[in-house]
Each structure stands twice: as structure tokens, then as C-alpha cells.
Chain A
Amino acid sequence: DVKVTQSSRYLVKRTGEKVFLECVQDMDHENMFWYRQDPGLGLRLIYFSYDVKMKEKGDIPEGYSVSREKKERFSLILESASTNQTSMYLCASSLFPTGSGNSPLHFGNGTRLTVT
């Protein structure tokens, strides 16, 4: 069974801090994703990666960057945290690039980030 592990369940950071959210998957999936979930807005894609050292912008990349130095690890970086980045952050992986019907996304349990 695929396991996607996010290192922190809850984080509280101050405005302007640099924040690292870590994600590790154990199924040798090449494709990894970062989403944020906000009430009334659903899940929105921030960044994704199809391979080591490769990254692509999603729908809302502003204020974020990512790092994929190893296949199993995908990090989301908030360069200078702001209050509007308070959210639930979800990491996911999939066998094929998109998480479509024949290769669904496998999500971690999320990191609830609060920026004060």
C-alpha cells in the first residue's frame, strides 16, 4: 500500500519566516504534487514534479517554490510566509503523471499551517 508521509501535522509560523514542508513517499512513484485545501475553494495545485530535479508550476505557484533532490522526497518552500498562506497543505504521489483514473493520486494526511 502506498504511503505518503508529511513530516508535520501542525505548524505555526510567523509572517516573513521561511517555511519548509516535507513529504516522502515509499512507492517509487516518479510523480509528486503539492496542493492546498481551503474551505469553499477545494484542492488547488501549487507545484508538481515528474522526476528528480524537475518541477512544474501548478495553478497557484506564487509565493512558493519546491525542491526534488531525491525521487522519494518533495519539499514545498514558502520563501517568506504570509497570513494568506494559512491553509491545509497536501502532498500526493502517483504512478503516472496526472493522477487520472488508471493511476490515482495518493495523498498524505496533510500539514495544517498557520501563519501569524
Chain B
Amino acid sequence: DQQVKQNSPSLSVQEGRISILNCDYTNSMFDYFLWYKKYPAEGPTFLISISSIKDKNEDGRFTVFLNKSAKHLSLHIVPSQPGDSAVYFCAASAVYGGSQGNLIFGKGTKLSVKP
């Protein structure tokens, strides 16, 4: 059973416009959410994170929004650039018995930003 779902395998956006990548989760115990970006033939790199006590975190062109009641988070990239073309993974972790659990990843969304 998927606990972290990225329902859109791919997304295509024009350069300069906004990219919105979505992620849904089922486990209400998740307390940390992260986004990773992966280029072909490279390992994923950490992009941005958000704690469950917040509803927004911003870092330059990247903003992550968290809606706990809907168990939904989204990554906004504004403005989108061709160099943003990559696979984006949503990940989450929860606290079990006082210890933070391991990250659970979604299946990824491939973003293509067209010049």
C-alpha cells in the first residue's frame, strides 16, 4: 500500500511559467516532508523540506505547501527554467516509538520545462 503517492508521472511546463508538483500521503503520523530532484545518471539531491507544524516553506524559486487536513503537499517552482527539467520525488517520515522512521518515497514526477 502506497503511503506517499505522486499521481502524475509527468508534467510539461513552458519556461517562465509556474510548475506545480503534487504529492498525497495516507499516514497521518508523517511529520517531515521532503522533495528531492534527480537528473538522469545522477543521484537525487535534496531540494526543500517542511515540518508538519508548518504550512509553507520557501527557498528562492521553490515553495512547498502542506495541507494536513487533506494530506496533501505541493511543490511550486516559479519561474520554471529548462534546468529544472528532472524527476522530482516526494518523501515523508514519521516518528515511531520516539524514533524518527526512515524516509518513504513516492514514485516520482518527471518535469519537462520547454524553452
Contacts and interface: CB of A to CB of B under 8 A. Distances in A.
Interface of A: 4, 9, 33, 40-45, 48, 58, 90, 92, 96-102, 104-110
17 contacts: A40-B9, A41-B107, A42-B6, A42-B105, A42-B106, A42-B107, A42-B108, A98-B32, A98-B93, A98-B103, A100-B34, A100-B100, A101-B33, A101-B51, A107-B43, A107-B44, A109-B43
Interface residues of B, number: 27
Main secondary structure of the interface of B (DSSP, over half): strand
B84 to A, nearest CB: 18
A45 B49 contact: no
Contact of B93 (A44, A92, A99): A99
Contact of A107 (B6, B32, B45): B45
Decide if the interface of chain A is mainly helix, strand, loop or mixed: loop
Nearest to A58: B102
Contact of B89 (A4, A42, A92): A42
Contacts of A4: 43
B101 interface: yes
Contacts of A98: 32, 93, 100-103
A32 to B, nearest CB: 12
B46 A104 contact: yes
A56 to B, nearest CB: 9
Contacts of A97: 99-100
B42 interface: yes
A92 B102 CA distance: 12
Nearest to B35: A104
Residue in A9, A43, A48, A107 with the greatest tally of chain B CB atoms within 10 Å = A43
Contact of A104 (B43, B49, B100): B49
